């Protein structure tokens, strides 16, 4: 099943401050609910674990994140791969993040193109989009907190 998701928000911080967060994969991952155990494997490549409950499925999905493009201070693209090894879920896709100056500070845009396989795909796109909306709202709150916290 192919899943396309585009999200956008504005954050009250400069594009430069946002770039420092977006380009720091472990720091950014701490803002994403359910992501843990982020480790750098080599420059531009990371491993992590995604844990979540979606419908009847409890996921613990090891993923690899490979940075494909870095255009400071405005664009990051990464490839994502994951396989739980039990047939529940396999994912492969691309994430693109762009940053643009805005009246509020910075417009953050995310675009995900993901292929979801295994039993998880049987849920269909609607529950996955709904869960993505929930995760994105929490992510935005955490990003705002991270960017506005005193240094």
The full set of domains in the chain, from first to last, is: 2-148 (3.30.530.20)
**What helix, strand, coil percent values describe the chain, rounded to 5?**
30, 50, 20
pLDDT class of 151 with cuts at 50, 70, 90? low
Determine the average pLDDT of the residues in 109-113: 96
Q: Tell me the pTM.
A: 0.91
| pLDDT digits 0-9 by tens, 73-96 | 999 999 999 999 888 899 999 999
């Amino acid at each position: 099943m192919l899943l396309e998701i585009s999200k956008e928000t504005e954050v009250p911080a400069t594009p430069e401050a946002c770039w420092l967060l977006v380009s720091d994969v472990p720091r950014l991952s701490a803002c994403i609910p359910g992501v843990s155990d982020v480790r750098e494997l080599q420059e531009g490549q990371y491993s992590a674990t995604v844990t979540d409950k979606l419908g009847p499925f409890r996921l613990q999905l090891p993923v690899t994140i490979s940075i494909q493009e870095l255009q400071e201070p405005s664009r990051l693209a990464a490839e994502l791969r994951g396989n739980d090894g039990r047939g529940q879920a396999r994912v492969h896709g691309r994430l693109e993040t762009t940053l643009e100056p805005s009246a509020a500070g910075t417009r953050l845009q995310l675009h995900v193109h993901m292929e979801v396989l295994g039993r998880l795909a049987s849920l269909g796109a609607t529950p996955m989009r709904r869960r993505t909306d929930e995760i994105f709202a929490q992510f935005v709150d955490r990003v705002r907190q991270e960017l506005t916290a005193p240094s």
